[in-house]
Structure 1
C-alpha cells in the first residue's frame, strides 16, 4: 500500500486501527459528508472495531460551508442579504460549536449560481450580500472569520463586502459611489467611521486557490471577467478600475495589494479585505484542514482515506488530496494515504511525490457515466472495504 520510502504500517494486529476519512465531495453525486459516511461504512464492513474519524473536507470553494458544518456538528444560520445583482435573498453562514470560528461562503450570497436566472451584469454585480453574512458572523461573536471565495459573480475588489460591513466608498465630491466594479473607478477615499465595531479586531482568513494579481493581463478582470459576462470593453474598464482601487487602498491604508499573489481571486475580493482588515490569504484546503482539526487527527492515524470525483494533475496542486498528503508526510508516523476517486488520471510517480501511497477508481471497468453516478455509494463503500482489508493484511504480517 505504501510507497517504497514510507515506514511500515503502525497498526498492531491486536489493536483496532485508527482510520481517518477526509474526502472532498464527488461533484454531481455526493457531498463531502456523504462521501465520508459511505467510506466509513466500507471500512467498518471489514474492520468493525476500527476507530473511524470522519472529517469531510473541501478546497475552500463552494461546498466548504457544508463540509465545516458537518464536522462542527452545527447548523447553518440564515441572514437577510442581497444577491450579486441586488435582489433580496437569504444567505447561509456558520459558526463553530465553540463560537470561535465563523464561516462565510461567498457563493451563498454573491455567486454566479444565484444569478443564473438574470442577465449577467459584469459592471454592476457586487459582494454586498457577503458583507451582510460576515457582519452576522461578527454579531454572533466569532473571533475569526473564514471567507471562502469560490464562485464569484462580480469584479468589485471586495468593495461590496466592506460596504456590507459598514464602510462607505466616496467620490471626490463626498458622495457614495455605486456598488460593483463600475463604482471603483470613481472612488476617491474610504470612510471607515461606520465599519462594524468588531471588524478590525478579529482575524480574517481568505480561502483562495489562485495566485492571480489584482489587475493586468493575469488579473481578475482579464482572466475571470469574461465568465461573468464581461465584454472586451468591460474587461478593460474593470481592469483600470481595479488598478485605481489598489491605488486608493494603498494611499489610505499603506498596504500595497496590486501585485499581491491571489489578490485577483473572486473578482479581487482579497484586495479590499487585506488592505482594510489585514486579511490573510491561505490555500483553501489547508485552511479547511486546520479548521476541522485534520493535522492532529492524521498525527494519530494508522490509515488515511481521502477522495474526490477526479484525481488528476490539479488534485496535487492545492486541492484536498494535496493537503492531506502533505499532512501525512509531515506526521511522525507518516500513515499511508489512499485516494478513492471516480476516476484516476495521475501517474503513480506523481501520486507518490504528493505523499499519497495509492489512488484507486470506483469504476469497475467500462461503464456509462450516469450508471456510475447512480452506483457511486455502493462502489465507494466496496472500494473502501477492499483498501482497508489490504491494509489490515499488510499490517498483520
Structure 2
C-alpha cells in the first residue's frame, strides 16, 4: 500500500514537514510495511519555502536587505540546484510575521527588500523567478520593489518619492531609464492564493490593510494612494493595473509584479505542487493524507487540502484531511475530492494546550484513522 502524506503547516504550531512526519508515525504503528511518501505542501504564503526545500534540491542564499520598515535585516531565498530558478518567499523579506501589532506602520511599509532579493538572484544568472507573496506587511503595490530595481518614482517637483504607500499620493511620473534591463529576460511566476484586484471594497487596502495596521479612518486615503499610482502607471507605461485578478494580493504587490515584471499570477497550490512533483506521487497512490491548521469552507478556495483533493480525484484516490480544528461548514471540502475530515483534538481545550499537545494528538489521531481503515473490511 502506497500512502502519500501531503499536508500544509499548522500555523503557529508545526511546519508542513513536521505534520507529515507525525502523520506517518501514527500510521506506521498500524501499517508498518506500507510505502510512505511525504510531500510537505503550502499555498504560496509563509512557510512555502520550508515546504519546498523538503522536496527540491538546491541551496539557501542569505543576504542583507531592507525589511518592511527599511531596517537592515538578513533574509534568504532558495536557488535551485541548476542555478537557473530562484524561489523567493515575500514573508521572509517584508512579512507581517516579523512585527507585532504595535510596530506596524503601513504608511511607510515597503517592498524595497523584495527588489533587492530579485536583483541578487538576477546577478547570479537565474532566468526564472518564482515568488510566493502571502503574508506581507506592505501596502505599496510593489513601489518599493521597483525603486530597488532602479525605477524612479517622481513627484511634481522631480524629486524621488520616499518609500511606502503614503508617498504614492504625490507621484506624478515613473522613470524607467535606470530600471534593471535583465528583468525583460526573466520568466516571473507569482504564487497567489487570492483573486482580489488592486482597488475598492474588495481590493488590497480594504480587505488586507486592517491586519497590517491600516486604521478604519485611513482606508479611503490608502486606497486613493494606490489609485494615484495606477493612474500614473497607465499614463506613463500604458498598462492597466486595475483589472489584474490577484493584483490586490500582498498589498498590491501582485499588480506591481504583473506590470513591471510581466509576471504571471497563478494559484499558489498549483505552482508548489508542480515544483515538488505531487502529481507523480499521487497518481499511483492507494491513499492520500492532507491537512492544515483549520479545515473549513475557506479551505475550498485554493487551500492545500482541496488542492490535494482535486488532484487525487483525477486518479480516483481517496483523500483524508486531518486538521487542528474543523468547522461546521466543512461540507464544502467534500465537493473537492476530500473523502473525510478529522480534528486532532481529543476533547475541548484551551488554545495554548492545543498547541502544546498538537504533536501527540496528531500522531494519535493518525493511528486511529489507520485502525479504522484496517478494520473496514470487517464491516458487513
TM over 0.5, yes or no?
Answer: yes
Aligned to 1:287: 271
* Post-superposition offset of 1:286: 2.4
Counterpart mapping for 1:43-82 below 5 A:
43-82=27-66
1:365 aligns with 2:347: yes
The counterpart of 1:297, out of the listed 256, 263, 281, is: 281
Contact 2:297–2:333, Cα closer than 8 Å, also in 1: no
1:386 aligns with 2:365: no
Cα distance 1:249–1:371, how it changes in 2: closer, same or farther (>3 A)? same
State the distance in 2 between where 1:31 and 1:147 align.
19
In structure 2, runs of 5+ residues without a counterpart are none
* Post-superposition offset of 1:69: 1.6
Contact 2:295–2:330, Cα closer than 8 Å, also in 1: no
* Post-superposition offset of 1:34: 0.6
Aligned to 2:207: 223
State the distance in 2 between where 1:115 and 1:372 align.
24
Aligned to 1:148: 132
* Post-superposition offset of 1:396: 10
Aligned to 2:150: 166
Instruction: Name segments (4+ residues, structure 1) moved above 4 Å.
Output: 346-349, 392-397
Moved more, 306-315 or 278-287: 278-287
Moved more, 357-366 or 384-393: 384-393
Contact 2:296–2:333, Cα closer than 8 Å, also in 1: no
Q: Deviations over 1:279-314 (max 9, x none)?
A: 112222222222211122211211111011211111
Contact 1:253–1:276, Cα closer than 8 Å, also in 2: no
* Post-superposition offset of 1:124: 1.6
Counterpart mapping for 1:198-213 below 5 A:
198-213=182-197
Aligned to 1:8: none
Cα distance 1:373–1:205, how it changes in 2: closer, same or farther (>3 A)? same
State the distance in 2 between where 1:121 and 1:344 align.
34
SS at match of 2:138: coil
RMSD: 2.4
State the distance in 2 between where 1:359 and 1:226 align.
32
* Post-superposition offset of 1:113: 3.1
Aligned to 1:28: 12
Moved more, 304-313 or 162-171: 162-171
1:278 aligns with 2:224: no
SS at match of 1:287: helix
State the distance in 2 between where 1:207 and 1:268 align.
14
State the distance in 1 between where 2:222 and 2:247 align.
15
Aligned to 1:14: none
Q: TM-score, normalised by structure 2?
A: 0.91
1:343 aligns with 2:328: no
Question: Aligned residues, how many?
Answer: 379
Aligned to 2:234: 250
SS at match of 1:217: coil
State the distance in 2 between where 1:67 and 1:142 align.
21
Contact 1:311–1:346, Cα closer than 8 Å, also in 2: no
